[in-house]
Amino acid sequence: MRNSYLVFGQPLIEQPEIDEVLASLRSSWLGTGPKVAEFEKRIAAYKGVPHALALNSCTAGLHLACLVLGLRPGDEVITTPMTFCASVNAIVHAGAVPVLADVDPVTMNLDPEQVRRKITKRTKALLPVHFAGRSCDMDALMAIAKQHGLKVIEDCAHAIETEYRGQKAGTIGDLGVLSFYSTKNIVTGEGGMVLTRDAQLARRTKVLGLHGMSADAWKRFSDDGYKHYDVEEIGFKYNMMDLQAAIGMHQITRVELWWQRRLQIWRRYMQELSDLPIGLPAPWGEHERHALHLFTLQVDKARCGVSRDELLMRLHRQNIGTGVHYRAVPGFKVYRERFGWKPEDYPAAHTIGERTLSIPLSAKLSDTDVGDVIAAVRSALHG
Ligand SMILES: Cc1ncc(COP(=O)(O)O)c(C=O)c1O
């Protein structure tokens, strides 16, 4: 057994970002400034979109995305039960009504057929999540959106490297939102970014993300001297700091290298865990690029002789940290009470939520770490 605890979702922090953070601290410019602008430029170039707007979280970005698309109280937004609560909460914060459609049990992403069944006269938008980094069926979802005149917000919290038919995730719908939370494929501690091709949506996202102050207000963050600003709307305090961007602007330069490393780890897990009575991630289509964000095991007690929670505890006792992504949204108290959702109405998401367990997949893992995870899973399954 390992002597030290392997923390789940450890980011890889290297010298360039450490130096850049120190430079920010020494320059005394901590808040929004030139490093945020540089980080936005680098993400926009990586994603091939004209507009990338840095914020202090993906949740903030999803909230603003709902607002700038003009969602109004009573408007319905269809999303997935197999996601983090933030995807649903953002819809509620915008005053709209979240509606869940069940997932495909294999891809774990929104099932387009289930989405069709949930469309009503009030449906105004779809909010698909590229779960674990695997692309949603965007042809089908965009066709539904077109047919019914719906807007599309892509939750790309797991999907920085994801592609669908050669298009980068987050650039297919009206808006895409990335997360740079500490466990994500690239990190800023906390942070997010909204992507869009639409200059109007970009401008309004920027204005609403900083109190509703006119876009000129952002010029306060350059050294051109003081400029007066107007306040156009009642906005939010969602801006990213240079201290955060100092990390992200270097992380993005190594995103492909780290993806390659996670691919090696992924392949090793697939090979060395394949004889066990657990479910492994399904293969994806040739027209997709998976971001390899989460490696999820499916633990069916009838097959494994052990429940997901017991396996999780056994791995913990062997110093291996794991995650659960996710217990399905309808199982949580507030949603049951407020929307009357029942887990059994979303059987595919419910089953995944009861069985799923994510094992470490960070580019920071050494070959020894990966071997330790494999050995621990094997021994935990054998009691
Ligand atoms: C699918 C999904 N959406 C949204 C979020 C929210 O991201 P953030 O923590 O940056 O607000 C997360 C975070 O884990 C997530 O996994």
Angle between helix 367-381 and helix 308-317 axes, rounded to 10 deg: 130
Q: How far is the CA of 84 from the centre of ligand 1 (A)?
A: 6
pLDDT tens string 311-354: 999 999 999 999 999 999 999 999 999 999 999 999 999 999 99
Contacts of 293 (CB under 8 A, 6+ apart): 132, 133, 158, 159, 184, 185, 361
Tell me how far apart the alpha carbons of residues 8 and 291 are, in angstroms, rounded to a whole number.
Answer: 17
User: What's residue 377's pLDDT?
Assistant: 98
Tell me how far apart the alpha carbons of residues 157 and 128 are, in angstroms, rounded to a whole number.
Answer: 11
Residue whose CA lies nearest to ligand 1 atom number 7: 58
Q: Which of 11, 2, 14 has the alpha carbon at shortest distance from 377? A: 2
CA distances from 111 to 118, 349, 373 (A): 11, 11, 32
User: What's residue 1's pLDDT?
Assistant: 84
Residue 364: band (very low, low, confident or very high) from pLDDT cuts 50, 70, 90: very high
Rg (CA), the chain: 21
User: What's residue 287's pLDDT?
Assistant: 97
Does residue 207 have a pLDDT over 80?
A: yes
The reply to whether ligand 1 has any atom less than 6 angstroms from the CB of 61 is no
The reply to whether ligand 1 has any atom less than 6 angstroms from the CB of 58 is yes
Tell me how far apart the alpha carbons of residues 196 and 152 are, in angstroms, rounded to a whole number.
Answer: 11
The atom of ligand 1 lying closest to the CA of 180 is 10
How confident is the model over 192-209, as a mean pLDDT? Answer: 97
Classify residue 136 by its DSSP letter.
Answer: P
- For residue 42, is it left (φ>0), alpha (ψ between -120 and 50) or beta? alpha
Tell me how far apart the alpha carbons of residues 361 and 133 are, in angstroms, rounded to a whole number.
Answer: 12
- What pairing do the DSSP bridges indicate for beta strands 295-298 and 97-100? unpaired
Does residue 383 have a pLDDT over 80?
A: no
Does residue 92 have a pLDDT over 80?
A: yes
Contacts of 2 (CB under 8 A, 6+ apart): 318, 319, 320, 372, 376
Q: Mean pLDDT in the chain?
A: 96
Residue 59: band (very low, low, confident or very high) from pLDDT cuts 50, 70, 90: very high
The reply to whether ligand 1 has any atom less than 6 angstroms from the CB of 129 is yes
Q: Which of 28-32, 79-83, 312-316 has the lowest mean pLDDT?
A: 28-32
Does residue 26 have a pLDDT over 70?
A: yes
The CB density around residue 59, as the number of other CB atoms within 10 Å, is 24
Tell me how far apart the alpha carbons of residues 156 and 133 are, in angstroms, rounded to a whole number.
Answer: 8
SS3 state of residue 286: coil
SS3 state of residue 160: coil
Residue 372: band (very low, low, confident or very high) from pLDDT cuts 50, 70, 90: very high
User: What's residue 216's pLDDT?
Assistant: 67
Q: How far is CA 104 from the centre of its chain?
A: 18
pLDDT tens string 173-183: 999 999 999 99
Backbone angles phi and psi of 77, in degrees to 5? -125, 125
Query: Which residues are tagged catalytic?
Result: 184
Q: How far is the CA of 59 from the centre of ligand 1 (A)?
A: 6
The reply to whether ligand 1 has any atom less than 6 angstroms from the CB of 59 is yes
How confident is the model over 135-139, as a mean pLDDT? Answer: 98
